[in-house]
Amino acid sequence: RLGTPAVTSRGFTETEMDVIADYIYKTITNFDATEETIRKGALELCASHPIY
């Protein structure tokens, strides 16, 4: 399940949500070719907005 409460509780803004949406799109349409980029980007996003 995806929702804005989970995103905003970590402090993500519209900018990060655009990135997340792009990762979701790439996962659905071309995961094999973009897997490493998605993993690295997701880890960076989570590291920059830790759960307290």
Answer yes or no: is 5 within a domain: no
* Number of domains present in the structure of the chain: 1
pTM: 0.83
Answer yes or no: is 29 within a domain: yes
The helix (H) or strand (E) run that includes residue 35 is helix 14-48
pLDDT for the residue 18: 94
Answer yes or no: is 17 within a domain: yes
pLDDT for the residue 1: 64
Given a cut of 70, the residues of the chain with pLDDT beneath it are 1
pLDDT for the residue 48: 93
pLDDT for the residue 37: 95
pLDDT for the residue 19: 95
DSSP letter string, 20-32: HHHHHHHHHHHHH
Domain residue limits at 16:
11-48
Answer yes or no: is 40 within a domain: yes
CB proximity list for 19: less than 8 A, separation 6 or greater:
41, 45
